[in-house]
């Protein structure tokens, strides 16, 4: 089975949080200038596109991105589809199949035009977190820029997840991805002291019986 890219392409027009640093790629030297090589430089927010949040993003005492276990971001993941909701509640999760898979990707389809930063998204009800913890979830990924409502200042879902030891992946592209079991790779960069990192996230289906 081939790997499927579930990452947003990075370009100067990629929407970012209102007021956050825009993505920029430019040449430090072009081949013509240097005589030998093109060399680029990138400026971006750590929360651009498909990215993970380190707990330090919302908790001064939380782990930094270089302290996170790489094993969280590689391995079996379940994809579930929960479209057309204002928020994801425990009852929605209870309707799905569970069992032994510690990574969960939720396709909400609630960020329709990825060229524009969304005003409203389907978010995670913090009351659903104990259920996720009970199912042994350690990583949750959504197809929206935040697990909380866009205008949230208190970030209750971020905090509830972290209190339950569940790590966060945001901005995955799950259009056309069917429910099922996949392998996931979405490694953050080892940015020392970082609050988050862009990731290249890929999945590939695995047979349920494996
Ligand atoms: N980058 C920002 C700039 C300003 C205000 C919030 C953010 C966020 O990133 C918050 C969001 N809850 C996030 O975890 O991605
Ligand atoms: Zn983030
Ligand atoms: Zn976040």
Q: Which residues contact 105 (CB under 8 A, 6 or more apart)?
A: 6, 77, 78, 79, 80, 140, 141, 142, 169, 172, 174, 177, 182, 184, 203
Question: Mean pLDDT throughout 172-185?
Answer: 97
Q: Which residues contact 34 (CB under 8 A, 6 or more apart)?
A: none
Cβ(92)–Cβ(83) below 8 Å: no
Residue whose Cα lies nearest atom 12 of ligand 1: it is: 146
Q: Which residues contact 40 (CB under 8 A, 6 or more apart)?
A: 25, 26, 27, 28
Give 208's pLDDT tier (boundaries 50, 70, 90). Answer: low
pLDDT at 145: 98
Instruction: Pull the structure tokens for residue 125.
Output: 């009800």
Considering every ligand atom, which ligand is closest to the CA of 158?
3
Give the pTM: 0.96
Atom of ligand 1 nearest to the CA of 45: 1
Cβ(104)–Cβ(137) below 8 Å: yes
Instruction: Give buried/exposed letters for 81-113 (b at 16+ CB in 10 A, else e).
Output: ebeeeebbeeebbeeeebeebbbbbbbbebbee
Does 53 carry a binding-site annotation? yes
Does 51 carry a binding-site annotation? yes
The answer, yes or no, to whether any atom of ligand 1 lies below 6 A from the CB of 195, is: no
Residue whose Cα lies nearest atom 2 of ligand 1: it is: 17
Q: State which of 47, 121, 150, 159 you would mutate to test the pocket of ligand 1, scoring each by most atoms of that ligand within 8 A of its C-beta.
A: 47
* Tens-place pLDDT, residues 61-89: 999 999 999 999 999 999 999 999 999 99
Atom of ligand 1 nearest to the CA of 57: 14
- How far from each other are the two terminal CA atoms of the chain, in whole angstroms? 14
Does 47 carry a binding-site annotation? yes
């Amino acid at each position: 089975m081939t790997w499927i890219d579930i990452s947003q392409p990075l370009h100067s027009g990629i929407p970012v949080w209102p007021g956050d640093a825009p993505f920029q790629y430019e040449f430090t030297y072009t081949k013509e200038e240097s005589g030998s090589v093109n060399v680029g430089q990138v400026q971006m927010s750590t929360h651009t596109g498909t990215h993970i949040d380190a707990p330090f993003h919302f908790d001064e005492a939380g782990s930094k991105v270089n302290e996170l276990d790489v094993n969280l971001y590689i391995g079996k993941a379940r994809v579930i589809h929960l479209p057309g909701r204002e928020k994801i509640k425990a009852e929605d999760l209870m309707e799905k199949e569970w069992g032994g898979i510690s990574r969960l990707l939720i396709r909400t389809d609630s960020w329709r035009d990825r060229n524009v930063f969304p005003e409203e998204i389907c978010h995670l009800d913090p009351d659903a977190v104990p259920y996720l913890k009970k199912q042994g979830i350690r990583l949750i990924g959504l197809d929206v820029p935040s697990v909380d409502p866009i205008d949230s200042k208190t970030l209750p879902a971020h905090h509830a997840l972290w209190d339950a030891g569940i790590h966060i992946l945001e901005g995955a592209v799950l259009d056309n991805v069917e429910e099922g079991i996949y392998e996931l790779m979405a490694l953050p960069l080892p940015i020392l002291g970082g609050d988050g990192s862009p990731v290249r996230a890929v999945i590939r289906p695995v047979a349920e019986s494996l």
